[in-house]
């Protein structure tokens, strides 16, 4: 049993509150990680508000990074002392997992949203009370977490954990959508709706792919200015300025009105990628003949449509080459300031807050 500090959400919509909790020992397939950093992702706030099938109370956090402390008997992919990033979990046995598309794993919902419930199954407890843990196979708004070989990616020890933590969800989602799912080619035109962490990661990836016109739409001027330093060729704060004829449009906003208005801005054979959160399962009226006759596509994308074990090393190579300047998106906060970090994310003031976990001398 590990005693740890963690941020708990007691009930849907409640604040994150730091508490001392117990984490069960690693099971045979689990990896105990001393967490050093964890990004705050929009999905954490969607889960906090109870819009996904999560349990309460729960510990969220799913962009964890840290150092392996112990491994279960069946784990041979990492060992204590290894530096790791933690991504989403998947079963490894279904068709999607075999196709290296674990974002579409048949067990995605139970493994990533429902988690584990108590110390007897490797979960988290407050005394006798089970707390929802192992969200996204991690729950890393905490000083310690249990993860798995499939969602733990070993990285070199010289790399900064606090800058690379968001690769495990937000960055791979935006970059994977552009580089893998859409497979953007040199010279193509792309529009990115929303300049948050996912949208700006899509912009950086579009620049890496050599896209010609890279247009970003957002309400916040400081985000648009940043987008231009990351490769955007046009920054629009109004739909009327977005332009037309896009080979690719990436929606990260979840705005039904925006998505609806953008379908006609696709070029012939253009593709709209739905990457945002769409709480409440909104419906869209579609001009079917315009989609059919112009060969347009609409595709849903989970976590970029990538396999973290293959894709995160590619992103790290881009980071080392200076093509993914993630530090421009990030502001660091101690775990104890999680309320401030969440507020900065919700107001749009900070694109990617990253929480830092202090560990005393051992």
Q: List C-alpha distances in Å: 74 to 31, 79, 100, 296, 301.
A: 10, 12, 22, 46, 32
> How far apart (Å, rounded) are the C-alpha atoms in residues 98 and 326?
30
Report 175-204 residues binding Zn ion (CB under 5 A).
none
Can residue 94 be called a binding residue for Zn ion (CB under 5 A)?
yes
Most distant CA pair in the chain, distance: 66
> How far apart (Å, rounded) are the C-alpha atoms in residues 11 and 291?
42
Can residue 273 be called a binding residue for Zn ion (CB under 5 A)?
no
* 3-state SS record for 192-244: EECCCHHHHHHHHHHHHHCCCCEEEECCCHHHHHHHHHCCCCEEECCHHHCCC
Beta carbon nearer to Zn ion, 194 or 270:
194
Angle, helix 221-229 to helix 197-209, in steps of 10 degrees: 30
Give me the least distance between CB of 169 and Zn ion, in Å please: 3
Report 34-63 residues binding Zn ion (CB under 5 A).
41, 43
The token pair that represents 147 in the structure block: 């993860």
Give me the least distance between CB of 72 and Zn ion, in Å please: 20
Residues in the chain: 362
Give me the least distance between CB of 104 and Zn ion, in Å please: 8
Stretch that binds Zn ion, among 94-102, 291-299, 327-335, 352-360 (CB under 5 A): 94-102
Can residue 171 be called a binding residue for Zn ion (CB under 5 A)?
no
Give me the least distance between CB of 262 and Zn ion, in Å please: 23
Among 7, 97, 209, 226, binds Zn ion (CB under 5 A): 97
Can residue 90 be called a binding residue for Zn ion (CB under 5 A)?
yes
Give me the least distance between CB of 97 and Zn ion, in Å please: 3
Among 91, 234, 298, 339, binds Zn ion (CB under 5 A): 91
> How far apart (Å, rounded) are the C-alpha atoms in residues 354 and 140?
11
Among 105, 178, 202, 263, binds Zn ion (CB under 5 A): 105
Residues that bind Zn ion (CB under 5 A): 41, 43, 90-91, 94, 97, 105, 169
């Amino acid at each position: 049993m590990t005693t740890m500090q963690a941020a708990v959400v007691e009930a849907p919509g409640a604040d994150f509150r730091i508490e001392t909790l117990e984490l069960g020992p690693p099971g045979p397939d689990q990896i105990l990680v001393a967490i050093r950093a964890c990004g705050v992702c929009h999905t954490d706030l969607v889960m906090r508000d109870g819009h996904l099938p999560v349990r309460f109370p729960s510990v969220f956090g799913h962009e964890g990074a840290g150092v392996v402390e112990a491994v279960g008997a069946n784990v041979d992919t990492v060992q204590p002392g290894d530096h790791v990033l933690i991504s989403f979990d998947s079963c490894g046995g279904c068709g999607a997992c075999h196709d290296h598309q674990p974002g579409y794993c048949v067990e995605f919902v139970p493994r990533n949203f429902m988690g584990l419930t108590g110390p007897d199954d490797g979960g988290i407890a407050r005394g006798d009370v089970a707390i929802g843990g192992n969200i996204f196979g991690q729950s890393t708004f905490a000083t310690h977490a249990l993860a798995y070989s499939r969602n733990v990616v070993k990285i070199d020890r010289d790399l900064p954990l606090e800058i690379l933590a968001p690769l495990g969800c937000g960055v791979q989602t935006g970059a994977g959508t552009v580089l893998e799912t859409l497979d953007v080619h040199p010279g193509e035109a792309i529009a990115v709706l929303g300049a948050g962490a996912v949208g700006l990661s899509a912009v950086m990836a579009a620049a890496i792919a050599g896209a010609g016109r890279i247009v970003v739409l957002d309400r916040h001027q400081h985000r648009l200015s940043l987008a231009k330093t990351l490769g955007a060729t046009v920054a629009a704060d109004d739909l009327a300025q977005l332009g037309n004829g896009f080979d690719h449009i990436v929606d990260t906003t979840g705005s039904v009105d925006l998505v609806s208005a953008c379908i006609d801005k696709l070029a012939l054979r253009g593709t709209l990628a739905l990457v945002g959160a769409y709480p409440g399962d909104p419906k869209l009226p579609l001009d079917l003949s315009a989609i059919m006759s112009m060969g347009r596509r609409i595709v849903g994308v989970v976590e970029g449509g990538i396999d973290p074990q293959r894709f995160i090393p590619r992103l790290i190579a881009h980071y080392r080459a200076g093509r993914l300047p993630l530090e421009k998106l990030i502001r660091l906060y101690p775990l104890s300031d999680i309320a401030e970090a969440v507020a900065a994310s919700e107001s749009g003031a900070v694109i990617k807050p990253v929480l830092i976990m202090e560990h005393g001398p051992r």
